[in-house]
Amino acid sequence: MASVFLVDYSCALKLSTPVTFKSIMYRAAQQGILFKGGSAIEKLVDIDTCVFDKTGTLTHGDMEVTDVIPLCSSNTARDLLAIAASVEEHSNHPLSQAVVNAAKNNELPHIEHGEVEYVIAHGLRSTLNEHTLVMGSRHFLEAHESVDFSLHEELIKQFEAKGRHLIYISHSQKLIGMIGLRDHLREEAKATLEKLRTLGINELVMITGDSHYKAQILADDLKLDQVFSEARPSDKSTIVESLQQQGKKVMFVGDGVNDAPALGSADVGVAMSKGTELARQVADVVLLRDSLQGIADSRELANIAMKVIRSNIKAAEYINSGIMLAAALGYLSPTMSALLHNGTTLSILARSAALRNG
């Protein structure tokens, strides 16, 4: 009876799981990944859908001005860029900073203008020569400012076909020019997406504010399953929730302030290393290195952790059951029963601790 009572399951079961989580978290940190607790690891294993916010995740956050296209005879390309930069310098958005940097590189003068109003997720509004000056997305100018685009449809399609992100500029409700910018796809993006599929994530989704035409070009290149184009910041969390309502376990990858609601509503939120402080606070997983590879690595590490935890539980149950049966049949003395039971516990803990070093 003493030999039987010296054997239980609780020691190995209670200790192996936290030790495994701690070991994997240590190993992840060495690989540039911060897991915020064991629950993030548990939930990451069940993910079947990964949603990316395009800018700053699939592409680098920095943008480059490639084209300045005046659409009226009164302004040259230099005039248009100087006007745009003078207004855009009041915004910290990556697109705005790219325009300002282009103007600085060309040593363009500052153009006097009125007070600047920042319209979230749309663009900027000011005045020039006492007439309204607006710059931003096509939706903003067309739907909110009643600017006519019909005369320039073919030209717009030409630049969209090149993959340009376009900032439109209107003065007195007339389209006076466009600025084309290019972002750069991350070198590791395709390899990371392919690895995520091999790790069991079946659906890859992208959310972007780009036009449908431009978004589809990138989606085809990356072989994405679904793309949501011309999306507003408020749409991101709605899209994540709609996917969850379809029974999917969703991981959202983002980096901006506007991504915080989606990072919070997703089953697992992943923030990029150069993300805003709010995004990093809300996310369950933070990448400490500026590379998408960390997303695939985090999934792989989570799979390893849960595989070890499950096998530890089975080992503890089977081995301790065998020890208990042998003790009940009188084959083991109390001393031997205690040694075998505690030896099993220590062996399982050592196996979990060994995960620290891969």
Indicate the domain borders of the chain. 10-58+187-300, 60-184
User: So which residues are the catalytic ones?
Assistant: 53
pLDDT at 341: 66
pLDDT at 4: 64
Out of 3.40.640.10, 3.40.1110.10, 3.40.50.1100, 3.40.1180.10, the CATH code matching 60-184 is 3.40.1110.10
Domain 10-58+187-300 belongs to what topology? Answer: Rossmann fold (3.40.50)
Q: What share of the chain is helix, strand, coil (3-state, %, to 5)?
A: 50, 20, 25
| Number of DSSP helices (H) and strands (E) in the chain, helices first | 14, 13
CB 201 within 8 A of CB 47: yes
CB 60 within 8 A of CB 183: yes
CA distance 208 to 215: 7
pLDDT 10s digits, 291-331: 999 999 999 999 999 999 998 888 887 877 777 787 777 77
pLDDT at 156: 92
Look-up: residue for tokens 């600025």? 179
pLDDT at 289: 93
Calculate the average pLDDT of the chain. 89
